[in-house]
Amino acid sequence: MLSLDNIFFGTAIHGAALVVLLFFNAHANRTANRLLAILVALLTITMWNMYTLTAQSGQPKRVFDVYIWAIPLLWAPFVYFYIGEMTRQKRVKDQKVLIHCLPAILLGLAQIPLHFFQDTANGILITTILSKTAVVLLFPQVFLYFSLSVRLLKKYRQNLLEQFSSLEKINLVWLYVVLGVFSLILLIDYSMNIPATLFNEARPWFYNWIVLTEALTVYVVGYLSLRQPEIFLGTNSAPDTPNPTIEKYLNSPIDNTLGTELADNLDTLMKKKKLFLRNDLNLTDLASEMGLAPHHLSQVINQHRYKNFYDYVNGFRIKYAADFLIANGKTNLTTLAFEAGFNNRVSFNNAFRKLTNKTPTEFSREYKSSITKQQH
């Protein structure tokens, strides 16, 4: 019969194999893969500890001490590092890693004496203090790094809107999944540990199965990460730095008069060459057409058209589609979406509604109705 300790043992071995796959995977962003490998390794250590507890009737083996309370304090920082590396906003540096991991390091160092007298009265007292400290620190830490990670993703999306006219090939859903899964697992796990750690009550009978489910979930995320494409797949370059802010424009050689002229020239170029019909149009390509540096073109669009690059280009696309609907009436909207420069109908519908407050179907129907009324 398959026992619970054997399940934990198999899960730990499985996790170790996944760590190796992630660590040596050269696909896409190698540094990000190694950060995810560290996250999986942290959980794998937990699985080994669970195995030693269930197999030895609560007496841990000495390979990985079950009282390594510092390990969960490393999860949130490394999720933050992973998202920062994937979006290329927070490149990993050894000094910064040490600073973010300082609470876990200090707590881990404080546990060293437990290896020598953890079964004594003093050892039990220190264990109790350290375990309670870990639980108290973890909740604010998770919320802090969750907020920082969400801020990174929002900032990154805004940067993308300044540089690309289509975002379908730059899917950030994966990063939200990683952030959500790891944060939720930590909160669930430690919420169930609060009664046992702070109030000396027994954990619920299903706790081991919850931990096992958490492990399997993380391993699924790990395997899926092996199939994730580079975030910048299909783009010419990665935006390593944030888009220039208004303050940075103060020293720009483009004054208000020149900016107005360039904005008018840009509008003329877009209409004449219909560059917006290219579904892969980005800031670098359009800047090349204008003979400008990308950050100067971004300044012109921001200051003189009061839009980001994404909305500026899509404005031309929606006008093209609206004119087509007016001239031709009912048509295949999916075909029209691609012809107007969009990569799919969903993006087309969303952009159309944003600019006209109507779907393409509603717009076409209302225009036809207004024409009919005028004829009568």
For the residues 192-220, what does the mean pLDDT come to?
A: 74
Helical axes 121-161 vs 102-110, angle rounded to 10°:
170
Averaged pLDDT, 102-131: 76
Q: pLDDT tens across 4-55, in order?
A: 788 888 888 888 988 998 888 766 678 888 888 998 888 888 888 778 777 7
> pLDDT value at position 70?
78
Amino acid at 230: E
Q: Is 166 helix (H, G, I), strand (E, B) or coil?
A: coil
Lowest mean pLDDT among 262-271, 293-302, 364-373: 364-373
pLDDT level of residue 268 (50, 70, 90 thresholds): very high
R_g (Cα) of the chain, nearest Å: 28
Q: How confident is the prediction for the chain on average, in pLDDT?
A: 80
Q: Among 49-58, 102-111, 218-227, where is mean pLDDT lowest?
A: 49-58
Q: What pLDDT, on a 0 to 100 scale, did the predictor assign at position 171?
A: 64
Q: What is the pLDDT of residue 57?
A: 54
**Residue 271 has what pLDDT?**
92
Position 8 scores a pLDDT of 82
pLDDT recorded at residue 237: 41
Higher-confidence residue: 57 or 94?
Answer: 94
Query: Does the pLDDT of residue 129 top 90, yes or no?
Result: no
Task: Please determine, for residue 65, whether its predicted confidence score (pLDDT) is greater than 70.
Answer: no
Q: Which 8-state DSSP code applies to residue 109?
A: H
Inter-CA distances, 62 with 10, 19, 42, 48, 59, Å? 19, 22, 17, 11, 10
> Could you tell me the domains of the chain?
4-225 (1.20.1070), 246-375 (1.10.10.60)
Give the model's pLDDT for residue 246: 46
3-state secondary structure of 299: helix
Indicate whether 68 pLDDT > 80.
Answer: no
pLDDT tens profile 165-205: 877 666 678 888 888 888 888 888 777 777 766 666 666 66
Report the pLDDT value the prediction gives residue 234, as an integer from 0 to 100: 36
